[in-house]
């Protein structure tokens, strides 16, 4: 399963000069709140570790689709990294 199957990324510039992240996990896609929160915690930790490597002045919205709850931490990390790399958001 490629990362496009379970992650979409929306990008917009912001005027605050900092990077911001939003995680959207529709309840229609992932029914259980426990699983939605697990995805959110993992994604937040992955982006925290990337930290200074991500460009400033942008807002990123990660939209997780059905199948994201089945991904391991490593697969989720690989998917987020590829999404950022393809859009050249890593310094």
What CATH number did the domain enclosing 55 receive? 3.30.230.10
Report the DSSP beta bridge partners of residue 28: none
In angstroms, the CA 42 to CA 47 distance is 9
- Pair 91, 57: CB distance under 8 Å: no
In a domain, 91, yes or no: no
Indicate whether 27 belongs to any domain: yes
Question: What's the predicted TM-score (pTM) here?
Answer: 0.88
Q: Could you list the residue range(s) of the whole structural domain that residue 67 is in?
A: 3-86
Q: How many helices (H) and strands (E) does the chain have?
A: 2, 3
Q: Which stretches of the chain score pLDDT less than 70?
A: 1-3
- What pLDDT shows up at residue 3? 56
Quick one: CA torsion of 65, 54, 21, 27, rounded to 10 degrees?
10
What's the confidence (pLDDT) of residue 52?
Answer: 83
In a domain, 25, yes or no: yes
Residue 69 lies in a domain: yes
Total of domains in the chain: 1
């Amino acid at each position: 399963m490629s990362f496009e199957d379970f992650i979409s990324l929306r990008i917009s510039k912001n005027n605050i000069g900092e990077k911001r992240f939003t995680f959207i996990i529709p309840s229609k896609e992932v029914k259980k709140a426990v699983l939605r929160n697990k995805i959110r915690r993992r994604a937040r930790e992955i982006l925290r570790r990337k930290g200074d490597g991500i460009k400033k002045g942008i807002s990123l919205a990660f939209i997780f689709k059905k199948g994201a709850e089945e991904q391991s931490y490593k697969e989720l990390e690989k998917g987020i990294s590829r999404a950022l790399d393809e859009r050249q958001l890593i310094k």
